[in-house]
Amino acid sequence: MKGSYLGKAAISKRRTSKPFFACARFSAEHRYGGTPVTLKPDASKSQALPRVIGTVGSTAIVVGTVIGSGIFLVPHNVAQQVGSVQSLLGVWVLGGALALAGALSLAELGAALPETGGVYVYLREAYGKLPAFLYGWGMLLVIESGSVATLAVAFGIYSASLIPLSPAGEKMAGCAVIALLTLVNIVGAREGSIVQTIFTLAKLLGLATIMGFALFHPGAHHALTFPPLPTPHTSLSSFGIALVGVLWAYEGWHMLSFSAGEVQAPGRTLPRSYFAGMLIVVAVYLGANLAYLRVLPLPALAQHQRVAARAMQIFAGPGGATFVSALILCSIFGAINGNTLAGPRAYFAMARDGVFFSFVGRVHPRFQTPVAAIIIQGVWSIALTLSGSFQQLYTYVIFSGWIFYAAAVLAVLVLRRRAPCLERPYRVWDYPALPIAFALAALTVVGNTLVCEPSESLIGLLLILVGIPIYLLWNRKARRVHLS
């Protein structure tokens, strides 16, 4: 990559002299410290990834990576913190609105900077190479690989409800899924998006089945008795705690950004896919909660952690619980695939910037995918699956990831001011209220995680900060290559 995308956009607008020089200076100084870095020619490295992901595939990435296991478990946690059905539904609506605000903010950035790498690229252009590298480093070490490992651990746990497995067998099942989907996404981005579309439709069909049972079931909660609610009245504090759990259920809305360089007509497709995908997710989440409440009153949601399995057991007997276990496995499988498809594109972009192994930035001549980047994430995700517990991985991901999500969304404000000449096919609605609202919510999640899980949070932060000396070494190496 010879120069910044902002620089290229500015060159095409020379007639507006002041914005041009502002954009050109901004791009050169913040990406390379004022000195362009030119790597040695490499045909496989200069080759771009083909744009093979259409509107359906990109929308499936949004929906499929967001809907994982959260909707089957989080309603229980929310019910423990709220005192009414109205408050419960309000938390899910607000969480969806905040996630939509973040997604639409990234849609503006993706339409203006349709490069492979997504959030990494936005951080690089807004704040410089070091913050972007720390995010990419954090992605590989804990954020993205940790997300995949967390999902894989959950996959093994739910597999044991269908097939008897030892604890070691559960972890091996999760590792096998990572290996399989790593192979699928090596073969091609189109193949990965097809798998994503199939499993997204399957999980939506499964959730629609639960809603259908709820709609036509005569109801059974009138004969059941439950203890009082843990939180009889919703307070601002309890509502905030519930919101943290809901935002975890909406986690994954940003994943499409990493594949922006492979999306067809990104200026049009990205905003549509973010908007449509998040609306589908919000509708599904509200529908699922109403389905649970159709047979389980609020105290029952607070009592039973596996609310979907409990509801379907009442709807359809023992077979209903088995159906839900299979549905959760399908949902987790699709979420792992979405993360495997999108995440490695950040490491690919890092290599193109000269701050990671150069071979990671190469495009496979046959498969047209960043094979090395996909393999690296797959191998490390398997290692995390074998070594970490579900709770530890979850905490690392939440604390580390949401710091950068807030910074990425605030990049909309930074680039609006510092790169006014950048062409923006789409502009986020209600600017700047939406990006600011999301950033405040993200920082709330970070603060809550730090207070509740200080040890795991600080470990996650230290792992990211270790990237500073590593970046300095890579940057020195890149400059030596340039001078030679």
For residue 431, give the CATH number of its domain.
1.20.1740.10
The residue among 231 and 49 whose pLDDT is bigger is: 49
Mean pLDDT computed over every residue of the chain: 82
DSSP-assigned beta bridge partners for residue 263: 53
Report the alpha-carbon distance of residue 107 to residue 113 in Å, rounded: 10
The answer as to whether 39 is a domain residue is no
Which residues 6+ apart lie within 8 Å of 98 measured at CB? 247, 250, 437, 438, 441
Q: Tens digit of pLDDT for each residue in 291-332?
A: 888 888 888 888 877 788 888 888 777 888 888 888 889 989
The answer as to whether 35 is a domain residue is no
Whether the predicted pLDDT of 107 surpasses 90 = yes
What Rg do the C-alpha atoms of the chain give, in angstroms? Answer: 23
The answer as to whether 4 is a domain residue is no
Instruction: Give Cα separations from 165 to 212, 326, 329, 400 (angstroms).
Output: 32, 15, 15, 32
Assign 5 a pLDDT band (cuts: 50, 70, 90).
very low
Domain residues for the domain of 449 are: 50-478
Per-residue confidence (pLDDT) for residue 315, from 0 to 100: 78
DSSP-assigned beta bridge partners for residue 53: 263
The residue among 216 and 32 whose pLDDT is bigger is: 216
The answer as to whether 37 is a domain residue is no
Q: Which of 97-111, 212-226, 407-421 is predicted with the least confidence, judged by mean pLDDT? A: 212-226
The answer as to whether 142 is a domain residue is yes
Per-residue confidence (pLDDT) for residue 16, from 0 to 100: 35
Number of folded domains that form the chain:
1
Q: Which of 380, 483, 430 is nearest to 139 (CA)?
A: 380
Report the alpha-carbon distance of residue 138 to residue 136 in Å, rounded: 5
Q: Tens digit of pLDDT for each residue in 150-177?
A: 889 888 888 887 888 888 898 899 999 9
Q: Which of 385, 470, 454 is nearest to 145 (CA)?
A: 385
The whole-model pTM stands at: 0.81
The answer as to whether 7 is a domain residue is no
Q: Tens digit of pLDDT for each residue in 16-47?
A: 333 333 454 444 344 433 333 333 444 445 56
Instruction: Give Cα separations from 355 to 74, 130, 211, 350, 466 (angstroms).
Output: 38, 10, 48, 6, 15
Three-state SS at 407: helix
The answer as to whether 31 is a domain residue is no
Instruction: Encode burial over 221-250: b for 16+ CB neighbours within 10 A, e otherwise.
Output: beeeeeeebebeebeeebbebbbbbbbbbb
The answer as to whether 258 is a domain residue is yes
CB 4 within 8 A of CB 31: yes
Mean pLDDT (whole number) for 200-227: 75
Per-residue confidence (pLDDT) for residue 380, from 0 to 100: 93
Instruction: Give Cα separations from 344 to 33, 61, 347 (angstroms).
Output: 26, 14, 5
- How far the first Cα of the chain sits from its last, in Å, is 18
